[in-house]
Structure 1
Amino acid sequence: MKILLVFAHPEPESLAASLRDVAIRELEAAGHEVKVSDLYAMRWRSEVDRSDFPLLAANDRLRVAQASGEAFEAQSLTEDVKAEQEKLLWADTLILQFPLWWYSMPAILKGWVDRVYAYGFAYGVGEHSDKHWGDRFGEGTFAGKRAMLIVTTGGWEEHYSPRGINGPIDDLLFPINHGILYYPGYDVLPSFVTYRVDKLDARGFKEISFALRERMRSLETVEPIPYRSQNAGDYFIPSLHLRPELEDPNTSGFRLHLRSEPREAAVERRRA
């Protein structure tokens, strides 16, 4: 299997970097091929601006989605962006690894997504019809590939529990797992989260390393998060509202977008 690990932490001697190395060693020992995009070491430019689109005329208004689509079609995106796109097309599995800062990913990693996920490459593909609303949320460029997050955080696990003050970790990571990974088609695997990293001692690191190695060994077999496919019949087209018979109409929240039925049943319903 070919794996791209996109790493976002500014300290080469960090716990996150040590866990990255544990993961890479385990994957390579199993015979997988691994490429790493270390964004801080690459001095990745996070902001999107006019310099991303060399063909954009000086007097044209910058509409980022439109400009990225035109640049992708013309193969005029900057070389750093094209290199990352090639890695994504090469990889069977994408791993995003980052510390949880202010309830999200570091800006440099968000900027990687903003620049690399060009219109026409990662989104905006597919046709619209009365039963189909574009290739996204379960379909798209990366359909058939796998992706997951490796996350470190200073808070206690209890802080990120269903009744914890920070909210459930799965809810905090939903915009990334569902909105960045599942949107362009990845099968999204459960995240690997390490808590209280600033207090982790040698024994704790050994335990976490063992658990991470176990996760890397199961990368090809672990069941993905059962997100609902946009075009399988669960949502009205084009409103993209979940059909009321699938969940209590008075219920809201991210869990509504998790299937309660096997994937095979959803596929059969779509065919019908």
Structure 2
Amino acid sequence: MGTISYDSQDEPALYSRRRILRLSGLMVGLGGMAVLPGCGPAAPDARVGMAPTGSDSAGSAGVLGDGITLRVGMEAAYAPFNWQTTESSEFTIPIENASGAYADGYDVQVAKVIAEALDMEPVAVKLDFSGLIDALNNGQVDIVCAGMSATPEREQSADFSDSYLDDNIVLIVRDDSPYVGATTFADLEGAYILGQVSTLYDDVIDQIPGCVHMTPADTLPLVVENLASGSCDAITYSELSVPKLIDMYPNFVELQLTDQFDGSPMPANAAIAKGQEDILDRINDAIASISDDERQELWTACTDRQPA
């Protein structure tokens, strides 16, 4: 994104010494590997220890993927949930299909906890958000950790974990907007509103009567850029991420609405291919091991560290 990274000088010590040492070893072993873009893993039934997706025996042996490398699907362009960086650190994991690149963010920190619980080493696989569930079911990734919320439609194609973060959807405008004083959805009649494609941020716009629902942008940075340039009147956004956004864009304002979107609060859930109940139980146990205080510390550290 061509932006400046902000590094927290005092990150929380949320990982055990064993966890940090394992992650450090991963950086040494994988940090120098050049992986050609587009080189994905083999189909699910060709990988050691994994039955074909959808079979009765999928996950019955308690092994996810090959049982060694946990391929984590994400877009790596959705800070502070996930983003791409060229710098390896104790917070990053390599991006398998982007040479010399690493992923950081809140999803990455949760994926590390899950990987440790499964005794696997995590790597990110960078994909468009709209293709993540398909990639899960064709064996290109083993798990999705991408700030994705379980929805009835998605639950037809994948199994979802318990929430590892709960957020709300809010609306952001510029301080010179005619809609800056809006307090209800009705006040936004005629407003051009933009969200991110294939996400709840786009879906909920239809709940605002009389607005102009714009063609969604492919990534969150593009959503923000459209508001900054005046190409739209308002954007849907993560409430948890608003303080950092306004630090970076002081002319942005969060609308204080009395109306709320259906679908908000909005959870972040991990997803795996169906038919792996034992694995899903272990993933949920790993998520439950992260206390509320630790989740807040992780989130704050990621927002401090995320690129502008």
TM-score, length basis structure 2: 0.23
Structure with bigger helix share is 1
The structure, 1 or 2, with the larger RCO (C-alpha pairs under 8 Å, 6+ apart) is: 2
Q: Specify which structure has the higher proportion of strand.
A: 2
